[in-house]
């Protein structure tokens, strides 16, 4: 088969309207060159019969290398979890941990249908960039900057990351600036970040309004809520991907809307850490682009975006006591098209002519897919990630019939296990 | 291998304390005859290396044959969903639909690690009993009795079901009485049900306090809340498995505790239908046995108990804003031991000598299980049902290395598809 020029034939295909059509998806180079109906013939074919095609899932907020901390500390109070368990291990992480942690994350993401992710971590984010380059995924990477400790150095690393990697790998790698949060970066420092990012025309990825404590601290320290403080630093004018947005005032929702902030909703992490429930129904009604993210694997505990999509749909309904809130097709649109927009990516996240060929084929043969009245509903409410059959990103096949094409899973697992053991051995 | 006498060797094993031990599980006939440590030798071995053993999951509330309605109607207001979509199709269901619907459910349950389920549906519940008998699962079956329409006839069918099937299949089949709910069965009729059940020493499976509307209607019609009304009918004195219990007053929680009512919590269905959140943390603190259920596949939309276990753990945390609520081991205990107790089953739901051999082996090889610091946490917060490798119920192997041993999946899917098509063709 010509791997640069092929057709997925006779596949059921998702549209954000919720409609499902059987069609042929023509891929040329990195793009969808045509969507056709009816019979197609030729040699370069992927048989789409019994498959459901969606855009690749976009994980709009994660910390990939934190896979190394999965199941290391759970069911703890937030500050015990962070201060006693997570931070001490993170302080021991070396360059090779960042690489192999992200490599394991890439395996997990591809196998669960994710084709793009927004990552904030550090140091050594260039190791994550290498994993993105090698895996065939898209990554919007930012150096997580905690301003209190060596803030200037970290900011300089984010600048270097941008200069070295933004636009690399046929544009699959983009770089954002990653001021961690208002409770780790004072306003004066955020202004410095804004100044550096503005010079490069870079966008911002930041944790915002995750916990009640964060809001209270902001009001105590600055007399204002976090979005009001951050708005004055100039960061919101650069284009922001704001992770969490759990606790929002009406004024803050107005700021988000006016400044076209994109929100990464992380229902699994917000539930597990008992942070609260983001008012996504209200945000969506205001036209805000609400994407979905898993957060890191130590607070989720996986990188399974289908699970996150289901949680977003279910949690919105019980939160608003409205069974019509966030229907299946909208949840899937959040996980795909809105995810791409959240990452600042153009022409990604829809199965349409001219869009980048980021495509997942889901196998509809399992018991959970029967009867097949409505594939969108089946995917969002019934299936699990093991139904991911084939994954294409930027026109390249990353997995086919559940076989990884770009990464060596067994080698990665072995290397990863060595890193995990060294980090946690006393 | 001697299928009646074998050892699962060197397997990591779940205990409700959260501890994980490597051990050998000896199975003789339908029981766990011994748990041993160290090396074992012999021919009748299942290799447990890299596997995690838990008791079989127990689905404490479902309507198995409703798999036929999966994805037929979603994202609708509750009464539109029921009255316009679900009930008209259910009225068309024939004996063969009940059988093949339950058969598909059995395939799905075994493949996702469920070994026992409490089912309420009808008519023709004897078809579900046949599926239980053939599949090797355990089923606690009840004829769903809507009192308003031919209540006496349905009650008589439940009596027949009990007489013909209770204790059948080496005790794998038990029968309960299934008065549907207070809003479909007036108190006088519930008293009749109680009288018939009492004659047979049978227990009760009933929907209780699922929606706010149900509570309001009870207060309007009877001047009391549902548990107060039902307590007066005598039903609670027979032993009740109460599904949902979303909206409860302090007085009702006291009734539940005093009458030793077992609760089937259905977080997925309660979220999807926007019913509300059951106060499970409070119930558990009172010593109430809270089990987990999926509800039917038209409101979930699958029968995946691992997903339900995760939802129970996550939802309790965000509901109480306490990250310590329902930790992983407790959620798993709810899905296993408490499930068995909820179904009125004895010596089931723990991996201990003398208990029935209802065992699931989970394959810990996938990326989502790395690193393997804590298998309980990994299972509850990270894995999905595709990790189910081997399923044993009543000492018999129902699935090994993901291959079904008692059911013909392809035949069932084909027959099921014919039923689904006939039901929904206009």
Is B377–A67 a contact, with Cβ atoms under 8 angstroms apart?
no
- Please state, rounded to an integer, the average pLDDT across all residues of chain A: 96
Q: Does B359 touch chain A (CB under 8 A)?
A: no
Structure confidence at residue A257 (pLDDT): 98
Structurally, chain A folds into a number of domains equal to 2
Structure confidence at residue A86 (pLDDT): 92
Within 8 A of A71 by CB-CB distance, chain B residues are 371-375, 377-378, 381-382
Give me the CATH number covering residue A293: 3.20.20.140
Residue B294 and residue B378 in one domain: no
The answer to whether residue B412 sits within a structural domain is: no
Structure confidence at residue B294 (pLDDT): 98
Q: Residue A315: closest CA among chain B residues belongs to which residue? A: B271
Q: Does A138 touch chain B (CB under 8 A)?
A: no
Of B342, B372, B394, at which residue does a domain stop?
Answer: B342
CA-based nearest distance A316→chain B, Å:
8
Residue B241 and residue B335 in one domain: yes
Q: For chain A, positions 301-320, list CB contacts with chain B under 8 A.
A: 301-302, 304, 307, 311, 313-315, 317-318, 320
Q: Does B275 touch chain A (CB under 8 A)?
A: yes
Q: What is the number of CB-based contacts under 8 A between chain A and chain B? A: 198
Structure confidence at residue A425 (pLDDT): 87
Q: Does A385 touch chain B (CB under 8 A)?
A: yes
How far is residue B52's CA from residue A296's CA, in Å, rounded to a whole number? 24
The answer to whether residue B421 sits within a structural domain is: no
Neighbour tally for A287: CB within 10 Å: 8
- DSSP assignment, residue A243? E
The answer to whether residue A423 sits within a structural domain is: no
Q: Residue B326: closest CA among chain A residues belongs to which residue? A: A75
> pTM to 2 decimals?
0.98
Orientation angle between helical segments A151-165 and A125-135, nearest 10 degrees: 20
How far is residue B423's CA from residue B426's CA, in Å, rounded to a whole number? 8
The answer to whether residue B41 sits within a structural domain is: yes
Name the residue facing B417 among A81, A370, A375 (closest C-beta).
A370
Q: Does A388 touch chain B (CB under 8 A)?
A: no
Is B76–A273 a contact, with Cβ atoms under 8 angstroms apart?
no
Q: For chain A, positions 49-68, list CB contacts with chain B under 8 A.
A: 67-68
Q: Does A367 touch chain B (CB under 8 A)?
A: yes
- pLDDT tens per residue across span B310-320: 999 999 999 99
The answer to whether residue A351 sits within a structural domain is: no
Residue B134 and residue B118 in one domain: yes
The answer to whether residue B423 sits within a structural domain is: no
Q: Does B79 touch chain A (CB under 8 A)?
A: no
Within 8 A of A416 by CB-CB distance, chain B residues are 370-371
How far is residue B313's CA from residue B325's CA, in Å, rounded to a whole number? 7
β strands within A56-180, DSSP E = 57-62, 114-121, 138-145, 173-179
Residue B287 and residue B367 in one domain: no
How far is residue A381's CA from residue A306's CA, in Å, rounded to a whole number? 9
How far is residue B18's CA from residue B374's CA, in Å, rounded to a whole number? 9
Regions of chain B short of the pLDDT cut 50:
none
What is the torsion angle, in degrees rounded to the nearest 10, for the CA atoms of residue A185, residue A187, residue A192 and residue A198? 100
- pLDDT tens per residue across span A158-183: 999 999 999 999 999 999 999 999 99
Residue A73 and residue A41 in one domain: no
Residue B26 and residue B108 in one domain: no
Of A298, A319, A342, at which residue does a domain stop?
Answer: A342
Q: Mean pLDDT over residues A351-370, rounded?
A: 98
Orientation angle between helical segments A125-135 and A95-111, nearest 10 degrees: 40
Structure confidence at residue A332 (pLDDT): 98
Q: Residue A108: closest CA among chain B residues belongs to which residue? A: B367
pLDDT higher than 90, residue A50: yes
Give me the CATH number covering residue A362: 2.30.40.10
Is A70–B297 a contact, with Cβ atoms under 8 angstroms apart?
no
Residue A61 and residue A51 in one domain: no
Residue B312 and residue B383 in one domain: no
Best of A273, A314, A319, A375 to substitute, by most chain B Cβ atoms within 10 angstroms, is A314
CA-based nearest distance A140→chain B, Å:
22
Q: Does B370 touch chain A (CB under 8 A)?
A: yes
Structure confidence at residue A131 (pLDDT): 98
The answer to whether residue B220 sits within a structural domain is: yes
Peptide bond into B371 cis (omega under 30): yes
Q: What residues make up the domain containing A41? A: 5-55+357-402
CA-based nearest distance B243→chain A, Å:
18
Q: Residue A302: closest CA among chain B residues belongs to which residue? A: B382
Structure confidence at residue B3 (pLDDT): 81
How far is residue A274's CA from residue B182's CA, in Å, rounded to a whole number? 34
* Secondary structure string (H, E, C) spanning chain B: CCCCEEEEEEEEEECCCCCEEEEEEEEECCEEEEEECCCCCCCCEEECCCEEEEECEEEEEECHHHHHHCCCCCCCCHHHHHHHHHHHHHCCCCHHHHHHHHHHHHHHHHHCCEEEEEEEECCCHHHHHHHHHHHCCEEEEEEEECCCCCHHHHHHHHHHHHHHHCCCCCCCEEEEEEECCCCCCCHHHHHHHHHHHHHHCCCEEEEECCCHHHHHHHHHHHCCCHHHHHHCCCHHHHCEEEEECCCCCHHHHHHHHHCCCEEEECHHHHHHCCCCCCCHHHHHHCCCCEEECCCCCCCCCCCCHHHHHHHHHHHHHHHHCCCCCCCHHHHHHHHCHHHHHHCCCCCCCCCCCCCECCEEEEECCCHHHCCCCCHHHHHHHCCCHHHEEEEEECCEEEEECCEECCCCHHHHHHHHHHHHHHHHCC
pLDDT higher than 80, residue A426: no
Residue A34 and residue A101 in one domain: no
Residue B364 and residue B282 in one domain: no
Greatest C-alpha distance within chain A: 67
The pLDDT confidence band at residue A408, using thresholds 50, 70 and 90, is: very high
Within 8 A of A70 by CB-CB distance, chain B residues are 370-371, 373, 378, 382
Is B276–A318 a contact, with Cβ atoms under 8 angstroms apart?
yes
Of B304, B319, B342, at which residue does a domain stop?
Answer: B342
How far is residue A368's CA from residue A384's CA, in Å, rounded to a whole number? 9
Structure confidence at residue B46 (pLDDT): 96
The answer to whether residue A410 sits within a structural domain is: no
Q: Mean pLDDT over residues A253-278, rounded?
A: 98
Residue B294 and residue B225 in one domain: yes
Structure confidence at residue B212 (pLDDT): 95
Contact between B167 and B174 (Cβ < 8 Å)? yes
Name the residue facing A377 among B74, B313, B321 (closest C-beta).
B74
Residue A158 and residue A291 in one domain: yes
Within 8 A of B271 by CB-CB distance, chain A residues are 314-315, 317-318
The pLDDT confidence band at residue A82, using thresholds 50, 70 and 90, is: confident
Best of A64, A65, A74 to substitute, by most chain B Cβ atoms within 10 angstroms, is A74
């Amino acid at each position: 088969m010509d791997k640069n020029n092929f057709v997925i034939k006779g596949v059921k295909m998702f549209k954000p309207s919720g409609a499902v059509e059987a069609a042929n998806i023509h891929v040329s180079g990195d793009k969808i060159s045509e969507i056709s109906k009816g019979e197609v013939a030729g040699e370069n074919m992927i048989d789409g019969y019994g498959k459901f095609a969606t855009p690749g899932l976009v994980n709009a907020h994660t910390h990939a290398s934190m896979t190394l901390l999965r199941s290391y500390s759970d069911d703890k109070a937030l500050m015990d979890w962070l201060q006693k368990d997570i931070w001490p291990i993170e302080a021991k992480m070396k360059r090779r941990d960042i690489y192999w942690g992200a490599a394991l994350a890439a395996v997990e993401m591809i196998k669960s249908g994710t084709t793009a992710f927004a990552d904030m971590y550090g140091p050594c984010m260039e190791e994550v960039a290498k994993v993105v380059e090698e895996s065939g995924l898209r990554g919007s990477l930012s150096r997580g900057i905690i301003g209190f400790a060596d803030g200037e150095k970290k900011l300089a690393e984010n600048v270097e990351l941008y200069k070295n990697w933004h636009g690399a790998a046929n544009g699959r790698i983009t770089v954002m600036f990653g001021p961690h949060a208002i409770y780790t970066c004072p306003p004066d420092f955020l202004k410095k970040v804004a100044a550096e990012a503005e010079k490069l025309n870079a966008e911002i990825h930041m944790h915002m309004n995750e916990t009640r404590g964060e809001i209270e601290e902001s009001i105590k320290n600055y007399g204002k809520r976090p979005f009001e403080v951050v708005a004055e630093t100039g960061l919101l004018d650069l284009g922001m991907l704001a992770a969490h947005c759990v606790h929002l005032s009406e004024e803050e929702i107005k700021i988000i809307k006016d400044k076209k902030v994109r929100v990464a909703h992380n229902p699994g992490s917000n539930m597990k850490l008992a942070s609260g429930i983001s008012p996504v129904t209200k945000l969506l009604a205001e036209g805000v682009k609400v994407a979905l993210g898993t957060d890191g694997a130590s607070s989720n505990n996986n990188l399974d975006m289908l699970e996150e999509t289901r949680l977003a749909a279910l949690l919105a309904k019980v939160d608003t006591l409205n069974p019509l809130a966030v229907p299946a097709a909208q949840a899937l649109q959040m996980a795909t098209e809105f995810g791409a927009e959240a990452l600042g990516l153009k022409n990604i996240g829809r199965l349409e002519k001219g869009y980048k060929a980021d495509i997942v084929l889901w196998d509809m043969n399992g018991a959970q897919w029967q009867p097949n009245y409505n594939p969108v509903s089946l995917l969002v409410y019934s299936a699990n990630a093991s139904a991911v059959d084939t994954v294409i990103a930027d026109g390249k096949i990353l997995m086919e019939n559940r076989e990884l094409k770009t990464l060596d899973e067994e080698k990665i697992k072995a290397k990863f296990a060595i890193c995990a053991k060294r980090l946690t051995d006393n």
